[in-house]
Amino acid sequence: MGSSTSHLSKELLTEYQELTFLTKQEILLAHKRFSDLLPQESRNMEDSLRVRVSTEQILTLPELKANPFRERICRVFSTAPERDSLSFEDFLDLFSVFSDAATPEIKSHYAFRIFDFDDDGTLNKEDLKQLVNCLTGEGQDTQLSTTEMKQLIENILEESDIDRDGTINLSEFQHVISRSPDFTSSFKIVL
Amino acid sequence: MLQRPKARLFGTGIQSYFTFLRFLMVLNLLTFLLTSSLVLLPLAWLHSPEPGPALNTSYHCPTSREPQPDLSRIHLHLWDVFTGRALSNTYLFYGSYRMGPESDSQYSVRLAYLLSPLTCLLLCFCGTVRRMVKGLLHKRLLSRDYRPRLSSKVFVSWDFCIRSREAATIKQHSISNEFKIELQEEQRTLQMQQQTRKQRARQLLSYVGLNMIIGLLVVGGISAIYWATKFSQNYKDESLSLLLQYMSPGVISLVNNLGPLLFGFLVQLENYPPNTEINLTLFWCVVLKLSSLGMFLFSLRQQAVLCSGRSDHSSCEPHGYNQCDQCWENSVGQELYKLSIFDFFLMLAFAFLITLPRRLLVDHLSGQFWVWLGREEFLVPKNVLDIVAGQTITWMGLFYCPLLPLLTSIFIFFTFYVKKYTLLRNCRPSPRLFQASSATFFFQLVLLLGLLVASVPLLYVISSIPSSVNCGLFSNYSAPWQVVPEAMALRLSPSAQKVFYYFGSNTFWYPILILLSLTLTVCLSQSGANKRAIKGLRRQLLWQVREKWHLVEDLSRLLQESGGSDSWGPESPSSRSSRPRSFCPGFPCPGSPRSRSFMDPGK
């Protein structure tokens, strides 16, 4: 690694620190981890800020490997037209939202987007079904039966859908989240 | 110094257990600091007489039969340390504090000694209540309307910090279990609502019967403790055998370990929903634990009180209590000290002699039995109850054994690391998740109950029971509380005394009580009004949304009629068709440029 690769410039670092919830050390660590995913020839400073890393590579990170929502996370934070690759700034965004310092509003906003599997802006029954399947896993013995799933989704809608339109929108989601004090501590990924 | 263990495998509920341990250790250290700075330091500063039992000054007593223990020759026999005998002449126990008469010195050590346990208990009470109130918003006692049970479980339960595949699988299993249990319970509730009156009466009867049986078991366990204490106190000085000295702590631990097993077994015989089973078992365990400690203290005091404060001490001779030689506060302090030590060593024994071999056997042997046995589960409620019982013992002993908090904090320090080791190496996660927020509330509640169980006897002793004539600071008073009026008479001007008497009299407290009741009534009615307002607002929201969709339907119908093309407007949810992508109510649409302002931290 040449001298141009090791450190981000001070101005850039300060700018990133102001725009995200991360500290300087966390930004530097994120940059290092991002560069490790890049091919050898792009690991210099200018390229690392420009080049995108494909989702498959991001999914090899140990922090995301075991997460059932990993594909959704990559998709939500990606700014590429095909939503299949992340630039360094997307990467920083990801860890900023999942950091300790992020506010609960930001976290719940992004949690909503991650759980919205069909990207239509609300959580309908299909979204909830996929969400529950992610939570319970793929095994035969852990998956809920059809009746149980139906009962569960009806209960969720009964509890959270205040305006009774059959879907959960962002405000209703945030209302539910505000009643759970454990959310901020569980919606966290630390590098 | 103390790091939180990375116990993500086991859930956030267990992390809160370790946080709770740390909180208790800090509490004990602060208590010790308060006591030592108020009592020990002034004693050392004022060059008071060396700690030791007072000489026989009362004319009731003949010269003592037993030789006084030589102060310079401390018993280094390990056994004496464990029974507290070796330390009975040190500042650890009540009996060795001595002080000249009140009028001699500026600083009243007696007052400090009396008030420091009370202050510590009051501060602990305030600290615990404050922590409880913080979690009050989210506790489970909220009604269904305000407590989205399943939704919050679905949206919040995944822990994004999990990194290993194995931990993820375990978490998925526990989440799936939890959903299934909740759904089962709901089915059960629906079924129960459809029962006939006769069936419901029968259910209620069996519920009451079960509780009565368990109550009888609890009473039986407690009486066993009473008799064991009485027995061991009777033969206290005669022999130093292991069995008799540690008999009462042994019986207490036996009762407290068998009890929950029995309760769990009995409760499972009836077919209750899982949450009810767990809550019932937990409730009776808490009752058993705290009442066994209360009964232990009560039987100790009965032995002591019956024999001191009586003019004819001949009736106490058979029991081994000679009024002139004995210091009943010391013996109570010694019993509590022994109980504390015993609990700690029992915890060590369980960790290293039961859990560790079990893990070794399960891992290295194969066979149906070992597979079925499995590693031990780390049960958070049981561990919390043990810790709270230890803390209750410490609080009970604040008056008799002022340095007990220091000992307890050392014990908690070692307990932290032993439990961490046991958890991470020898245990498996329990299939039932224990959420952090409800866990904290439960811990604080049980702690508060323990505080109550410890304070009531203390207040009773301080205000009514005469101390021994032979030892300690309060030997010349009818009750330790009498120091306070005397100190006030000595040090305060008459007008200041009048003010204090006013604060203690009825004319002050009755108006305060009336004021508090008024405030409570106002708060309750306000909360009722708020609930009604919330209901009304929810209805309004519903109507407004329905009205909105009604208008949209009207609009699209009108446009259809006027435009003639097929409808491009959105469909309302009642027509059950999917919404087109161009309408995303209340949400920045995907595909719109990602605005930087979202990432702006609070500008």
**pLDDT, tens digit, for every residue of A118-131?**
999 999 999 999 99
| Token pair 């506010």: residue | A103
| A positions 135-164 inside 8 Å of B (CB) | 135-137, 139, 142-144, 148, 151-152, 155-156, 159-160, 162-164
Mean pLDDT over A40-63 rounds to: 83
Residues A76 and A113 occupy one common structural domain: no
pLDDT at B569: 54
> What is the domain partition of chain B in residue ranges?
8-46+79-144+163-308+326-498, 505-547
Closest C-alpha among B486, B482, B481 to residue B497 = B486
pLDDT reading at A183 higher than 50 = yes
Report H helices in B465-505: 483-491, 494-504
Is residue A124 located within the same domain as residue A174?
yes
| pLDDT confidence band for B437 (50 / 70 / 90) | low
Instruction: Say if A4 falls within a structural domain.
Output: no
The nearest alpha carbon in chain A to B134 belongs to A181
Between B263 and B103, where is the model more confident?
A: B263
Select from B144, B149, B156 the residue whose CB has the most chain A CBs within 10 Å, as the one to mutate to test that interface: B156
Q: Which of A47, A82, A98 is the last residue of a domain?
A: A98
Residue A40: pLDDT over 60:
yes
Q: Could you tell me if A83 and A121 lie in one domain?
A: no
Average pLDDT (B510-519) is 95
- Closest Cα in chain A, distance from residue B173 (Å): 6
Considering only CB atoms, which chain B residues are within 8 Å of A191? none
B169 vs A121, A137, A143: nearest CB:
A137
Instruction: Give pLDDT, residue B500.
Output: 83
Q: What CATH number is given to the structural domain containing A54?
A: 1.10.238.10
B376 strand-pairing partners:
B427
Q: Do A92 and A115 fall into the same domain?
A: no
Same domain for A94 and A18 = yes
Strand, helix or coil for residue A170: helix
Give the mean model confidence (pLDDT) for residues B378-387: 84
Q: Locate B477 and state its tokens.
A: 């008073």
Q: Does A61 contact chain B (CB < 8 Å)?
A: no
Give the count of Cβ contacts less than 8 A between chain A and B. Answer: 175
Residues A86 and A129 in one domain: no
Say how many domains are in chain A.
Answer: 2
Q: Tell me if A72 is assigned to some domain.
A: yes
Interval B406-419: pLDDT, tens: 999 999 999 999 99
Kindly tell me if the per-residue pLDDT of B79 is higher than 80: no
DSSP letter for each residue of A99-141: STTS-HHHHHHHHHHHH-TT-SSSB-HHHHHHHHHHHH-S-TT
Instruction: Identify whether A1 is part of a domain.
Output: no
Q: Mean pLDDT across the stretch A178-182?
A: 80
Residues A114 and A181 in one domain: yes
A123 and A80 fall within a common domain = no
Cβ within 8 Å, pair A162-B183 = no
Question: Are A159 and B600 a contacting pair at CB < 8 A?
Answer: no
pLDDT for the residue A170: 92
ipTM for this prediction: 0.89
Q: Which domain holds residue A166?
A: 104-187
User: Best of A179, A184, A188 to disrupt the B interface by mutation (most B CBs within 10 Å)?
Assistant: A179
- pLDDT tens digits, one per residue of B227-251: 888 887 776 655 566 667 778 888 8
Average pLDDT over residues B109-121: 87
Q: Helices B436-464 and B380-396 meet at what angle, rounded to 10?
A: 20
Q: Are residues A83 and A120 in the same domain?
A: no
Q: Which residues of A touch B581 (CB under 8 A)?
A: 120
pLDDT mean across residues, chain B: 77
- Residue B273 to chain A, least CA–CA distance (Å): 17
Q: Using alpha carbons only, what angle is made at residue A158 by residues A157 and A159, rounded to the nearest 5 degrees?
A: 90
Last residue of a domain, one of A47, A74, A98: A98
Instruction: Tell me what pLDDT residue B57 has.
Output: 44
Does residue A3 lie within any of the structural domains? no
**Which among A98, A129, A151 is the end of a domain?**
A98
pLDDT of B137 over the 70 cut:
no
Close Cβ partners of A14 (under 8 Å, ≥ 6 residues apart): none
> Mean per-residue pLDDT for B518-529?
95
Compute CA distances B344 → A146, B415, B519, whole Å.
Answer: 50, 8, 45
Q: Are residues A15 and A94 in the same domain?
A: yes
